[in-house]
Amino acid sequence: MTRVTPDRVVGVAALVLAVLAPLYLSSYWVGTLLTQMLFLGIVAASLIFLSAYGGMVSLGQVAIYGIAGFVVGNVTTNGNTKGLNLGWSPWWGVVLGLAIAVAAALLFGALASRSVGIYFLMITLTYSVIANLTFGQVTDVSGFGGISGIPAPKHIGPVDAHQNRLYYVALGVALAVYLLLRYISRTPFGLTLQGLRDDPVRMASLGYNVLLHRTIAFAFAGFVAGVGGVLFVWWNGHIDPASIDLSATIDVLVIAVVGGLYRIEGAWVGALFFVIINNYSQQISFIGPRFHTLIGAIFLVIVLVSPGGLVGLWDRAIALSPFRRRGPTDRNPIEAGQVEPSV
Partner 1 sequence: MRALKSRWKLIPLAGAVIVAATAVAATATARNSASPIRIAVLSDCQGAFGSFDNQDMAGVVTAMVQYAGAKAKNPNKPRDGWVGGQINGHPLKLVGIGCSNDRADTAIKETKRLMEQLKADIMIGPLSGDESIAVANYAKQHPTKTFVDGAAGAQDTTLKVRAKNFFRFNGDGAQWNAGLGDLAYNKLGWKTAAVVADDYSFAWTSAAGFVAEFCAVGGKVTKRVFPPLNTTDYSSYAQQMPTNVDGTFVAVGGAGLIPFLKAYEQAHGPIDGKKFIGNLFWGTPGQFEQLSSRVAGAYVGGAGTAGDLATPAAQAYNKMVGKVFKQIPPFGAAAPQASSTFTFGYYVNTWGLLAGLKAVKGDISGGQKKLQAAIGKVKLRTPYGPVHLDKNRQAVIPVYYQQLYLKNGKLAVKTVGYIPGVDQSFGGTFTSKTPAPGRNFPACVKRNLPWIGHTRVPKVTG
Residues at the contact surface with partner 1, assessed by CB under 8 A: 27-28, 31-32, 79-82, 136-137, 139, 143-146, 148-149, 158-161, 236-240, 242-243, 279, 282, 288-289
Considering beta carbons, is residue 143 or 195 the nearer one to partner 1?
Answer: 143
Question: What is the chain's length?
Answer: 343
Nearer CB in complex with partner 1: 23/161: 161
Least distance to partner 1 from the beta carbon of 150, Å?
Answer: 9
CB of 145 to partner 1, least distance (A): 3
Smallest distance, partner 1 to C-beta of residue 302, A: 24
Q: Is 255 helix (H, G, I), strand (E, B) or coil?
A: helix
d(CA 82, CA 196): 43
**Quick one: DSSP state of residue 329?**
-
User: In 10 A of CB 27, how many CB atoms?
Assistant: 12
Cis peptide leading into residue 200 (ω within 30°) = no
| Parallel, antiparallel or unpaired: strands 238-239 and 147-148 | antiparallel
Closer to partner 1 by Cβ: residue 28 or 183:
28
Q: Are 89 and 76 in contact (CB under 8 A)?
A: yes
CA neighbor of 281 nearest in space, from 29, 34, 273:
273
Comparison of 238 and 325: residue with beta carbon closer to partner 1: 238
Q: Which is nearer to partner 1, 44 or 239 (CB)?
A: 239
Least distance CB 151 / partner 1 (angstroms): 10
Q: How far is the CB of 272 from partner 1 (least distance, A)?
A: 16
Please say which residue, 242 or 277, places its beta carbon nearer to partner 1: 242
If the CB atoms of residues 232 and 268 are measured against partner 1, the closer one turns out to be 232
Residue 143 zone, left/alpha/beta (φ > 0; ψ -120 to 50; rest): left
144 vs 183 by CB, closer to partner 1: 144
H, E, C per residue of 188-208: HHHHHHHHHHHCHHHHHHCCC
> Is 113 within 8 Å of 218 (Cβ atoms)?
yes
Least Å distance between CB 37 and partner 1?
A: 14
Shortest Å, Cβ 22 to partner 1: 15
List the beta strands (DSSP E) in the chain. Answer: 147-148, 238-239
Least separation in angstroms between residue 194's CB and partner 1 is 37
Nearest residue to 150 via CA among 226, 223, 235: 235
Q: Residue 269: CA atoms inside 13 Å, Cβ hemisphere, count?
A: 22
Q: How far is CA 144 from CA 55, 242, 259, 318, in A?
A: 34, 8, 32, 48
- Residue number, 31 or 41, with CB nearest to partner 1: 31
Q: How far is the CB of 162 from partner 1 (least distance, A)?
A: 11
- Residue 147 gets which letter from DSSP? E
Q: How many helices (H) and strands (E) does the chain have?
A: 14, 2
